[in-house]
Structure 1
Amino acid sequence: MTLIGIVFIVLLLAGMPLAFTIGLAGMAWFLESPLPMAIGVQKVASATQSFPLLAVPFFVLAGHLMNRTGITERLLTFSRVLVSWMTGGLAHVAILLSALMGGVSGSAVADACMEARVLGPSMIKAGYSKGYASAVIAVGSLITATIPPSIGLILYGFVGNVSIGKLFIAGIVPGILMTIVLMLTAWRVAKARGYQPDSTELPSFRSVMKSLNDSKWALLFPILLIVFIRFGFFTPSEAGAFAVVYAVVIGFFLHRQLSWADVRLSLKESVTDIGMIMLIIMFSAMVGYSIVFERLPQSLAQLIGGISQDPTLTLFLILGFLVIVGTVLEATVSVLLLTPIFVPIIHAVGIDPVHFGVLLMIVITLGGMTPPVGVAMYAVCGLLKCPTDRYVVESLPFIGAVLALVALLAVFPQVVMFLPDLLM
């Protein structure tokens, strides 16, 4: 395993694309091990032969299609109507929009980039500092890590053999709580700095209802997704196909904003995204086999067991490690590489894998909003021309609020689990 780590770090620092970094690290282990390389090749090929994995390309395509159906504009308007009257109104609009877009995009980075283009300039023009605007948008996009259909939760369920339907349902309450916590943090900072509301009047009932009606098809999607999975109409993979059909029907027949040129562009962008994700999944399977062969989960379990057998303390030790790993590894890679290591450990101490999966997704996705390799952080700062050091300072209250919420969810697992236990 030392060889894998050395090769991985050297290639990553050299700028090698992430998928090939993982693949070459896995190949290096097989060249050193007594096992034939053919086994590694078989693991790469067999990683693609999974029905649940079909959910990933379907939901990626659905996200691209929905972004071209006018859904984003309608959700932005709805968010403005609901919360723009509050102190720091545009910051609340950004956070609420992330929560609503979580049921559409399923990707924190995609959500952060979209909001940086749409809302970022307006926030800066309204007098918000670039660091504050960037921090609200980047950290706020973390909400999409839990709101269904989260791509990360699909991958965790696939690798860890955990119910994806349960994971979707379990992500709802943490997503809502994170929205509330981030909005409270944004309000406190805005209040201290004297940031003004975007609107001086409370929304009328009529304007709320009108905006709600305009956004109803987007807001219905995650609800229908959960209902159909819960009552057995679809498996999660089939729900992905339903999402694509749903996006096409909305775009062509209901909103009438989707064109065939948009469909072609969505397919082109989806092929690029899916190709990248699938390469990472395929090569991660080779590394995952080496992890199991070297009995790394058992060794770590013994190490952690030597520290404590208490489930809560064990969970905090693992989450602390994941927070650190999340700052240097992209979330998809972390899920694929670390799930086979930690799922056996949490099983052994009696932690529910659904509860753990939601917390894992939050902390490793948070790494995308922090230095040194935060993808969402650099994307937003680049789009808003915000110095990274200013972003880091301004993001600390929001990151602290998220970590406090994670600690709360770790101590009280029923907050995460009561909804999936009730419905499934």
Structure 2
Amino acid sequence: MIAVFIVFIILLFLGLPVAFSIGISGSLYFFQHPEIPVMQVAQLTLSQIQSVSLLAVPLFIFAGNLMNLCGITERLLGLASIVTRHMYGGMAQTSVVLSTLMGGISGSSTADAAMESRILGPAMIKNGYSRGYTAVVIGYTSLITSTIPPGVNLIVYGTTGSVSVGRMFMAGLMSGIYMMLALMICVHITSKKRGYRPPDAKRPSLREIAREVKTSFCALVFPVLLLAGIRTGIFTASEVGAFACIYALVVGIVVYREVTWEKMLDCLRMSIMDVGGIMFMISLTGVFGYGIPVEKIPQKLTGLMLSMTDSSTLILIMILALLFLLGMLMDGGVIVLLLTPMLLPVAKAIGLDPVFFGLLMCTVCCLGILTPPVGVAMYIVCGNLKVPMPVWIKESIPFLITVVLVLGTLIAFPQLVTFLPNMVYG
């Protein structure tokens, strides 16, 4: 397996697409072991995606694109703007709140960063915010979106590690709220220091908030229906994805009446491209991961870490540091797919709750989209707002520290994350 990992890293550095890097390096294991039929490669590729639970991934991606199509984003932006207009850095605070609200819609940090950098970014710059600060705020607040259910990585981790997706969603909800509060404090401090005063010193009245809530009601109620449907047993994780698609269509066609045939075709085209790329990678991880249990990699990794220290906290910190470094080199979703079978047994061996560990893993892996050299969201935001890389890195420091402090707090007090899943599911 060592040769497999080395070839994988080399192919990545050579610029080969991630999916092909996974498939080619994984196939090497079968050539190293001639006793294993090569036909296994084709069989594993197909069997890896023959899972009912994985249906949730394409369904939620399609539902998220549909909800963006039907005008929900603009209505959520209006609500976020009203709620934050009296705060220091009001438009930056709008980004934090909007990313939180969008978490219940799209579940994709990259999509949220791309959307806000086009809609909110130019408006912030026009109102006096520096380009670097604007880019970093939009980039780092997008981390909330992938944590709030239905985050795609939460579904992938739950499916790959045989962990309850419903529990992952409940834990993600709590983590997203903590992240939102911490980033709002960070924005308040940095905006006050820079002199980004509130757009309107007058606090919004209850009537104004109620009016915006009424306008955005269909979007706000969706995460509640999603979690309630899973918890009560009305839907499985896959079935609730189908419900999300139908709900989005009804909202777009009947309520807001903004869906046209042209928009629907664009939505289908975008969803097919997104789903095709993700499912192709998932299918090839079956080939890559075949040798992991055969070579007893989880047991060896557990033994190695336990020989270094018997502190579960130190082992967890080492794992998260490794994930952060890997996140700088490859997509977070790929890391979750490839390393969950190896690292989850280690987490269980040192007594960590699988839900708690999965939440930390997904958050740290997602952080890689904001760090060089392969930070996808970072490049999208910097490209859209024309921000040089040195400026991005300098402006990122207080926000990166904030995210690390949130993670440190969760590590010190895991009950902050696990109490809601345990209370709901027992």
Letter in 2 for 1:192: K
- Aligned pairs for 1:24-423 within 5 A: 24-34=24-34, 35-423=36-424
Instruction: Tell me the distance in 2 between the aligned counterparts of 1:308 and 1:226.
Output: 39
| Contact 1:65–1:266 (8 Å) recurs in 2 | yes
Name the residue aligned to 1:18. Answer: 18
Matched residue of 2:149: which SS? coil
Instruction: Tell me the distance in 1 between the aligned counterparts of 2:44 and 2:253.
Output: 41
After the TM superposition, which of the residue ranges 193-202 and 42-51 deviates more from structure 2? Answer: 193-202
Instruction: Tell me the distance in 2 between the aligned counterparts of 1:145 and 1:353.
Output: 18
Q: TM-score, normalised by structure 1?
A: 0.98
Instruction: Tell me the distance in 2 between the aligned counterparts of 1:166 and 1:142.
Output: 19
**Cα offset, 1:199, TM superposition:** 2.5
**Cα offset, 1:32, TM superposition:** 1.9
Letter in 2 for 1:48: I
Q: TM-score, normalised by structure 2?
A: 0.98
Instruction: Tell me the distance in 2 between the aligned counterparts of 1:403 and 1:290.
Output: 34
Letter in 2 for 1:420: P
Instruction: Tell me the distance in 2 between the aligned counterparts of 1:304 and 1:244.
Output: 44
Instruction: Tell me the distance in 2 between the aligned counterparts of 1:295 and 1:198.
Output: 58
Instruction: Tell me the distance in 2 between the aligned counterparts of 1:315 and 1:75.
Output: 37
Deviation string, structure 1 residues 60-114 (Cα, Å, up to 9, x no partner): 0001100011100000000000002211111000111000000001100000000
Residue 2 of structure 2 corresponds to residue 5 of structure 1: no
**Cα offset, 1:36, TM superposition:** 2.3
Instruction: Tell me the distance in 1 between the aligned counterparts of 2:206 and 2:151.
Output: 32
Instruction: Tell me the distance in 1 between the aligned counterparts of 2:62 and 2:245.
Output: 7
| Contact 1:135–1:394 (8 Å) recurs in 2 | yes
**Cα offset, 1:219, TM superposition:** 0.7
**Cα offset, 1:362, TM superposition:** 0.7
Matched residue of 1:201: which SS? coil
**Cα offset, 1:115, TM superposition:** 0.2
Instruction: Tell me the distance in 1 between the aligned counterparts of 2:323 and 2:6.
Output: 19
Letter in 2 for 1:202: R
Corresponding residue pairs, total: 424
**Cα offset, 1:321, TM superposition:** 1.3
| Contact 1:170–1:420 (8 Å) recurs in 2 | yes
Aligned identity (percent) is 46
Instruction: Tell me the distance in 2 between the aligned counterparts of 1:31 and 1:132.
Output: 50
**Cα offset, 1:262, TM superposition:** 1.8
Deviation string, structure 1 residues 316-359 (Cα, Å, up to 9, x no partner): 22112111111111011000001001111111111110011111
Instruction: Tell me the distance in 1 between the aligned counterparts of 2:304 and 2:10.
Output: 27
Matched residue of 1:171: which SS? helix
Matched residue of 1:371: which SS? coil
**Unaligned segments of structure 1, at least 5 residues:** none
**Unaligned segments of structure 2, at least 5 residues:** none
After the TM superposition, which of the residue ranges 406-415 and 74-83 deviates more from structure 2? Answer: 406-415
Instruction: Tell me the distance in 2 between the aligned counterparts of 1:222 and 1:210.
Output: 20
After the TM superposition, which of the residue ranges 73-82 and 14-23 deviates more from structure 2? Answer: 14-23
**Cα offset, 1:143, TM superposition:** 0.4
**Cα offset, 1:18, TM superposition:** 1.1
After the TM superposition, which of the residue ranges 21-30 and 382-391 deviates more from structure 2? Answer: 21-30
| Contact 1:65–1:262 (8 Å) recurs in 2 | no
| Contact 1:58–1:244 (8 Å) recurs in 2 | yes
**Cα offset, 1:371, TM superposition:** 1.2
